[in-house]
Structure 1
Amino acid sequence: MPEMGAVDQEGIARRFWIKSKSDWIFAMYSPFFLSLASGNLDSHTFLNCVSQDVHFLKAFAQAYELAEECADDDEDKSAIRKLRKRVKDKLKNYETIVREWGFELPAEGNSIVATVKYTDFLLATASGKVEGEKVPGKIATPFERIKLAAYTLGAMAPCMRLFAHICKEIHHLIDPDDSSHIYKKWVDYYCSENFETSTLQIEDMLDKLSISLTGVELEVLERLYLQAVKLRVDFFSIQPIVQQTIVPLSRVQSPANFNLTIFCDFDMTCTAVDSFAVLAEIAIITAPKLDLSGYETKLTKMSSADLRSTWGVLSAQYVEEHDQCIESIMSSETVEKFNYEDLSKALEQLADFEKRANSRVIQSGVLKGLNLEDIKQAGQQLAFQDGCRGFFQKIVRNENSKTDIHILSYCWCGDLIRSAFSSGDLNVLQVHSNELAYEETISTGEILRRVECPMEKLQAFNDILKDCNANGQQLTVYIGGSVGDLLCLLKADIGIVIGSSPSLSRLGDHFGISFVPLFSGMVKKQKEFDEGSSPNWKGLPGILYTVSSWAEIHAFILGS
């Protein structure tokens, strides 16, 4: 009996779906679904797309038949048989279903290339033609046959969940009383309890069949699941769209007179760890070993434990006083209408706090003795948020894009940031931050204080724009996630908040800022665009767009 792979309590299907978000988000942000959500997708485009479902359903029915043959017990066979019957019934009644949506299905045409790629992949999987796997036959063991059934369902399950999830997202944005939205019935169909039940049934069966798989086999299953997601995303990405759309942002503008400038915070926006912690760890590891001859301090003789304690005290004091500062700002009366000047004035308290905190760090001497080479090495190994590095790499490698990228950060050490972006062509990113002072290559413990507070970030932001090419249209995007980013986020044409900073949310609510999920904001802008107005992203003041991942930012700005 094979060694059992560990499947978490959440279920393998759910786990794979969450893991594939960085892929399926590109389908939701595609021009096809954005236009459909706005209610203005060209009907011919829609019908050409849904007509391909006939080919998908036929492949599903055949794959279920092969999976049923591989199932081990009568209960599993019966469950898969019911799933197959649902597909065959839908295939039989598909023309009627499309009429219920308010459309007439065109005569069945040939499969398009994207359809063929998925159906060939699915049927090859169901037939046992999986890379590195044995084709089942008369000598195949029951475990090998169950494995193949799991692989087959793994190649189908994400297709169901993709429709269910995206349509639920769209459903929230459609007014229930809006009879003018011609795709409402289609959205309702994929949001229905019946469709969700079918989706859960295939996912439950996938979970059950996966229980006996080994760790290696689960890796194969995951690869097949992710491949299915990518193929379905590709299908929606290549759908020809007649009307203009507002996405992807970098492609819909005229390159001849359009300049895109992207500003981005660094700590915990780009990175998975704070630069404070990185510099502290370098100091703790290296300080006891230093011989600073001419300017040795008592800190170089401290044990690693004592030095770690010193950093801990500085960190705890920072957090405590930061919270007190936020509470002090929040003690003012909540505003009913957003006012940028009122927010700026309130954040002056934060500016004073940040500068005091930096003075404490300098006076403590904990930054003294850091070696520039150690900093650069740590920067090159710095962990980034998923998708962040890939997003920037795609921008800088796009020769047709006129995009400038600026990193604005409170980080004490610009060299750490520059080294983090030194690979993959990202050294073209321009860094605006504080800097450590050095004697040769050893830090003196002083900080060249250039970007310490929200106002100084805003000043850097404004100075950069003054130096930009004044010819043509200028569009600015700021990406950040902390209170220190607020003024820049609100000043940019498009302010994107990534992460879930409680302080930023509380201050935003207190000062009348509206936090709008980026996808819903896009749908609203697309509707305005469809009605004849230009996609004016600035719009009403005090609006910020929220995302949960870099994949959303990538899909919005660059597309797939």
Structure 2
Amino acid sequence: MRILLNNSLALLRSPRAAPPIRSLLFGSKKWSSAMSIPPPSISASEEALAGRLWIKFNRECLFSMYSPFAVSLAAGNLKIETFRQYIAQDVHFLKAFAHAYELAAECADDDDDKLAISDLRKSVMDELKMHDSFVQDWDLDISKEVSVNSATLRYTEFLLATASGKVEGLKAPGMLDTPFEKTKVAAYTLGAVTPCMKLYAFLGKEFGALLDSSEVNHPYKKWIENYSSDAFQASAKQTEDLLEKLSVCMTGEELDIIEKLYQQAMKLEVEFFHAQPFAQPTIVPLLKNHSKDELMIFSDFDLTCTVVDSSAILAEIAIVTAPKDDQGQQINRMLSADLKNTWSLLSKQYTEHYEECIESILNKEKADKFDYEGLCEALEQLSEFEKKANDRVIESGVLKGLNLDDIKRAGERLILQDGCINVFQKILKTQDVNAKLHVLSYCWCGDLIRAAFSARGVDAVEVHANEFTFEESISTGEIERKVESPIDKAQQFKSILQNRKKDEEKSILTVYIGDSVGDLLCLLEADIGIVVASSSSLRRVGSHFGVSFVPLFSGIVQKQKQEETWKGLSGTLYTVSSWAEIHSFALGWE
């Protein structure tokens, strides 16, 4: 049982919230056919156009940030020849920007807009001057003519075509006979420029945050300081603001065109970063650098892979399928109303006792350094609590009478975290990589997990969870208890790894992905422990025993800088904002 059960059951008790939860789980005629509950996001009405587009295409931004070029530049060990090639290509970029702004200014019908575009062009010209200073500071030899590479050419041609009015849905050049039609071209041009400006401002801030103030030997410090400077950040913001102003009167169809241009520009930027000539060892992407090893990916399931906790799903199945009255009552099956009340009571007890257990753990003396043994001892207390909670669930009879087909159907229709399945699919299909995927879960019913993965073509996953007992496909209410606690998970993790080492002579790299206190020991045991949207209790308990939580990107840059290898029980866990970040780190741009 997980603490999220209480929140999910609160939804069940709410007349307004109950139908969407049911539509999430089932798709047969017996239940609602609606199938999607989107994850929380910023309201479109609360965010300007550029902000919405940046959030929507953030995945492409991560692919640029996690590129070998960007990681090496941030770490300061990018080869100078690679940087020279990049500067030469970037000059072509900037010249195209300057010309695009010239064309956009001609299309603007407002003097203030023309002036704003001219200011942006001036910033580009200043940036070109900055490149000249790079040449002097790094003694770069750019006297040799450097041809434009294909990635640079694709972006510059795309940008100048847009600025010339060659945009799908717009009149052909020469036919832009009204100021209003020409103004659209200005807006479209800003749509193609803005993502580049925003991306560089973002990278500048990210890289700048990792610069040590005492570090004077970072060869690319000036580059980073330029893009993290207030002046460049203001220029990027000015570009976004101008895009908003120029598009304010556009129709939905025209805004869709801007979105497509924005997305295309982001994609071309990713290609540009990955097209830089590169001939040095890097820590990314993970799979490429460990193709000679066996890679073992371990993951939690509930709320790491899923949007809704599995205990709430099973509770919903039980309530929806339970008899409403004594007529047609199945033998020893609780009525729907009684089930709701019993689940509510179990949920309340779990939440209260869980918080008490966590506070009891935190009342122990705080460690002044990483204390794995102390953490294991403390989590024995939580393990006992989890087992007693499961005792109450089994004794209550709330899991009795569930149909295996209903459980599998719910698993097939279960909404998973965006990008999760894509990561697993691509890892398992990557050639020349020996990867194994294991899911370790408190879930009461492994069939639910297997159905969720199988329906999405990930049949190679090995599921380690508890199991319902069935009689003719109907649950008895009993659970075959295999993985109930943090200690159980850690034992499963070690057992799987030990068995694999007996069969394989290759070195093994382990990755564990989780989100809660129950995952702490496995996260720490793995060579790379990745925390997705962690709960506050995970951070509180981990920090209490000396665990460090480091953003994954900064951890990667540090390892790139010091040429370190990944190693378990280091006391450091790596945090990510989404599965897209895991994708960028593990697989890179494809």
Compared CA separation, residues 445 and 175, structure 1 to 2 (3 A): same
Aligned with 2:579 (options 541, 550, 556): 550
Structure 1 residue 46 displacement after superposition: 0.6
Aligned with 2:558 (options 524, 534, 545): 524
> Separation in 2 of the partners of 1:431 and 1:290?
37
The DSSP-based 3-state class of the residue aligned with 2:529 is strand
> Separation in 2 of the partners of 1:178 and 1:462?
41
Q: Check if 1:537 corresponds to 2:566.
A: yes
Would you say how many aligned residue pairs link Structure 1 and Structure 2?
Answer: 544
Aligned with 1:260 (options 295, 300, 312): 295
Aligned with 2:111 (options 51, 74, 92): 74
Note if contact 1:292-1:369 (Cα within 8 Å) is conserved in structure 2: no
Matches within 5 A, 1:222-301: 222-255=259-292, 258-288=293-323, 296-299=331-334, 301=335
| Counterpart in the other structure of 2:521 | 487
C-alpha RMSD over aligned residues: 2.1
The DSSP-based 3-state class of the residue aligned with 2:575 is strand
| Counterpart in the other structure of 1:3 | none
**Deviations along 1:482-528, whole A, 9 cap, x unmatched?**
00001111111111111131000000111111111111111111122
> Separation in 2 of the partners of 1:557 and 1:382?
25
> Separation in 2 of the partners of 1:291 and 1:261?
51
Structure 1 residue 94 displacement after superposition: 4.9
> Separation in 2 of the partners of 1:342 and 1:409?
23
Aligned with 1:216 (options 253, 256, 270): 253
Range 279-288 or range 449-458, more displaced: 279-288
Structure 1 residue 173 displacement after superposition: 1.7
Compared CA separation, residues 133 and 139, structure 1 to 2 (3 A): closer
| Counterpart in the other structure of 1:470 | 504
| Counterpart in the other structure of 1:99 | 135
Range 432-441 or range 116-125, more displaced: 116-125
> Separation in 2 of the partners of 1:465 and 1:7?
46
| Counterpart in the other structure of 1:419 | 451
> Separation in 2 of the partners of 1:142 and 1:277?
57
> Separation in 1 of the partners of 2:97 and 2:326?
70
Note if contact 2:186-2:246 (Cα within 8 Å) is conserved in structure 1: yes
Q: Check if 1:86 corresponds to 2:123.
A: yes
Note if contact 1:72-1:142 (Cα within 8 Å) is conserved in structure 2: yes
| Counterpart in the other structure of 2:375 | 343
Note if contact 1:7-1:211 (Cα within 8 Å) is conserved in structure 2: no
| Counterpart in the other structure of 1:44 | 81
> Separation in 1 of the partners of 2:428 and 2:333?
46
The DSSP-based 3-state class of the residue aligned with 1:52 is helix
Range 137-146 or range 440-449, more displaced: 137-146
Matches within 5 A, 1:122-137: 122-135=159-172, 137=174
Structure 1 residue 190 displacement after superposition: 1.0
> Separation in 2 of the partners of 1:173 and 1:338?
23
Structure 1 residue 33 displacement after superposition: 1.1
| Counterpart in the other structure of 2:421 | 389
Note if contact 2:465-2:483 (Cα within 8 Å) is conserved in structure 1: yes
Compared CA separation, residues 290 and 415, structure 1 to 2 (3 A): farther
> Separation in 2 of the partners of 1:185 and 1:282?
59
**Deviations along 1:128-162, whole A, 9 cap, x unmatched?**
33334444654655544333322211111111111
Matches within 5 A, 1:288-327: 288=323, 296-299=331-334, 301-303=335-337, 306-327=338-359
Q: Which runs of 5+ in 1 are unaligned?
A: 1-5, 530-534
Compared CA separation, residues 420 and 7, structure 1 to 2 (3 A): closer
> Separation in 2 of the partners of 1:122 and 1:223?
13
TM-score by structure 1 length?
Answer: 0.92
User: 1:250 corresponds to which letter in structure 2?
Assistant: L
Structure 1 residue 365 displacement after superposition: 1.7
Compared CA separation, residues 326 and 244, structure 1 to 2 (3 A): same
The DSSP-based 3-state class of the residue aligned with 1:347 is helix
Q: Check if 1:181 corresponds to 2:218.
A: yes
Q: Check if 1:115 corresponds to 2:115.
A: no
> Separation in 1 of the partners of 2:115 and 2:325?
71
| Counterpart in the other structure of 1:165 | 202
Aligned with 2:52 (options 15, 20, 42): 15
Compared CA separation, residues 138 and 473, structure 1 to 2 (3 A): same
> Separation in 2 of the partners of 1:182 and 1:302?
68
| Counterpart in the other structure of 2:11 | none
User: 2:523 corresponds to which letter in structure 1?
Assistant: L
The DSSP-based 3-state class of the residue aligned with 1:545 is strand
Note if contact 1:397-1:425 (Cα within 8 Å) is conserved in structure 2: no
Note if contact 1:406-1:432 (Cα within 8 Å) is conserved in structure 2: yes
Compared CA separation, residues 290 and 38, structure 1 to 2 (3 A): farther
Poorly superposed stretches of 4+, deviation over 4 Å = 136-143, 289-295
**Deviations along 1:6-48, whole A, 9 cap, x unmatched?**
9634321122112222111111111111111121111010110
The DSSP-based 3-state class of the residue aligned with 2:353 is helix
Aligned with 2:365 (options 333, 340, 349): 333
Aligned with 2:441 (options 409, 425, 428): 409
Q: Check if 1:24 corresponds to 2:56.
A: no
User: 2:273 corresponds to which letter in structure 1?
Assistant: F
Note if contact 2:85-2:277 (Cα within 8 Å) is conserved in structure 1: no
Q: Check if 1:34 corresponds to 2:71.
A: yes
Note if contact 2:299-2:513 (Cα within 8 Å) is conserved in structure 1: yes
User: 2:508 corresponds to which letter in structure 1?
Assistant: Q
**Deviations along 1:93-127, whole A, 9 cap, x unmatched?**
25533236534351342210000111122122223
**Deviations along 1:298-329, whole A, 9 cap, x unmatched?**
51x334xx533432332232222111110111
The DSSP-based 3-state class of the residue aligned with 1:559 is coil
Note if contact 1:51-1:105 (Cα within 8 Å) is conserved in structure 2: no
Compared CA separation, residues 316 and 125, structure 1 to 2 (3 A): farther
The DSSP-based 3-state class of the residue aligned with 2:505 is coil
User: 1:98 corresponds to which letter in structure 2?
Assistant: F
> Separation in 2 of the partners of 1:292 and 1:489?
50
**Deviations along 1:420-449, whole A, 9 cap, x unmatched?**
101343011110001111111111111111
Q: Which runs of 5+ in 2 are unaligned?
A: 1-42
Compared CA separation, residues 139 and 83, structure 1 to 2 (3 A): closer
User: 1:466 corresponds to which letter in structure 2?
Assistant: Q
* Identity score, percent: 57
Note if contact 2:166-2:173 (Cα within 8 Å) is conserved in structure 1: no
Compared CA separation, residues 383 and 456, structure 1 to 2 (3 A): same
Compared CA separation, residues 498 and 463, structure 1 to 2 (3 A): same
| Counterpart in the other structure of 1:156 | 193
Note if contact 1:129-1:135 (Cα within 8 Å) is conserved in structure 2: yes
User: 2:575 corresponds to which letter in structure 1?
Assistant: T
Structure 1 residue 70 displacement after superposition: 2.6
> Separation in 2 of the partners of 1:416 and 1:121?
47
> Separation in 2 of the partners of 1:238 and 1:228?
15
Structure 1 residue 168 displacement after superposition: 1.6
Structure 1 residue 179 displacement after superposition: 1.9
> Separation in 2 of the partners of 1:273 and 1:173?
35
User: 1:329 corresponds to which letter in structure 2?
Assistant: I
> Separation in 2 of the partners of 1:265 and 1:322?
19
Note if contact 1:335-1:512 (Cα within 8 Å) is conserved in structure 2: yes
> Separation in 2 of the partners of 1:410 and 1:349?
16
Note if contact 2:483-2:489 (Cα within 8 Å) is conserved in structure 1: yes
